[in-house]
Amino acid sequence: MTIRVYAPASMGNVSVGFDVLGGALAPIDGSLLGDCVSLAEVEQGIEVSTIGKFAHKLPSDPKQNILYDCAVAYQKELTQLGKPFKGVSLVLEKELPVGSGLGSSASSVVAALYGLNEFYDNALSKNQLLLLMGQLEGQISGSVHFDNVAPSYLGGLQLMVERDDVLCSTIPSFDDWYWVVAFSGAKVSTAEARALMPNQVELKTALKFGQNLAAFIDASHRGNSDLAASLLVDIIAEPVRAPLIPGFVESKNAMLELGAMASGISGSGPTLFAVTTDLAKAQQLQDYLQQNYIQNDDGFSHICKLDTLGARREALRGTV
Ligand code: HSE
């Protein structure tokens, strides 16, 4: 059996929900924005290799690749369940830039673990798998936070609940919102961006954060698009991180002046996002970012909707 799995890019935080809200991205031109993993049976053990545009940014030793850790962790779970682990090879197609703020490590981890679960007859439940995804992604980003793995796995906009059986909840999203995203091409290490964060916030900041997030979730459930967009503000991470992302403040201001309903940092950056319901405006925002925010050949921009499907099987390479 050979299977190939895709896991979409994601925006952590979505401004208003630091570490607890995230959305999966689907470019409207139909292209894939995320990593794929192909799995095939081998005689024994775990084999890992990497191809794709950003493969050269990963460690050359396969055992240093997070996919290897994913397979070891999955094997441990199978052993605990008393199930056999047949040998497996995993080939990662690394298409998302590392340190981009687009959930690059989450995309690899989700594709690998989703693929392993398919490969081993869905031995783990959704919640078990999501917990494992969070743990493995946390090894790379410096601490466990689910705001990239949950949307990449389940699609849409995911709010982390983390209560007993309810790990996360799909928040109703606005079908007519376009999410314009631009990766500048600069690398921001999530672990380093997290190390910058203060350990404590003032009480008034904590209260405002809770109010903004609760009001955003409420507005989303009520279908109040303008109110929801006006609540996409980040009073926790953006004030600390924005000054360190070249060109971010100028480009965000430009997005709002050009009529975006909201704009912010995707994950820990440097990817910037902007929201609009008007496709012509989305194009204008993208043009601006393409000309002013992108710094080198690694950079790119896309007009996206939310990817409502999440991780899924794709056709094998070379078969379409
Ligand atoms: N919530 C995480 C952070 C997302 O902002 O550090 C990282 O992509």
Q: How far apart are CA 139 and CA 129, in angstroms?
A: 16
pLDDT at position 17, please? 98
pLDDT at position 319, please? 65
Atom in ligand 1 nearest the alpha carbon of residue 266: 8
Nearest CA to ligand 1 atom 4: 267
Atom in ligand 1 nearest the alpha carbon of residue 193: 6
pLDDT at position 192, please? 87
* 30 CA from centroid of ligand 1 (Å): 26
* 110 CA from centroid of ligand 1 (Å): 16
pLDDT at position 60, please? 86
* 102 CA from centroid of ligand 1 (Å): 10
Q: Which domains does the chain have, with CATH numbers?
A: 2-171+308-314 (3.30.230.10), 178-305 (3.30.70.890)
Tell me the per-residue pLDDT of 98-133, one tens digit each, with 9 for 90 and over.
Answer: 999 999 999 999 999 999 999 999 999 999 999 999
pTM: 0.96
Q: How far apart are CA 220 and CA 12, in angstroms?
A: 17
Low-confidence ranges of the chain (pLDDT < 70): 319-320
Tell me the per-residue pLDDT of 13-50, one tens digit each, with 9 for 90 and over.
Answer: 999 999 999 999 999 999 999 999 999 999 999 999 99
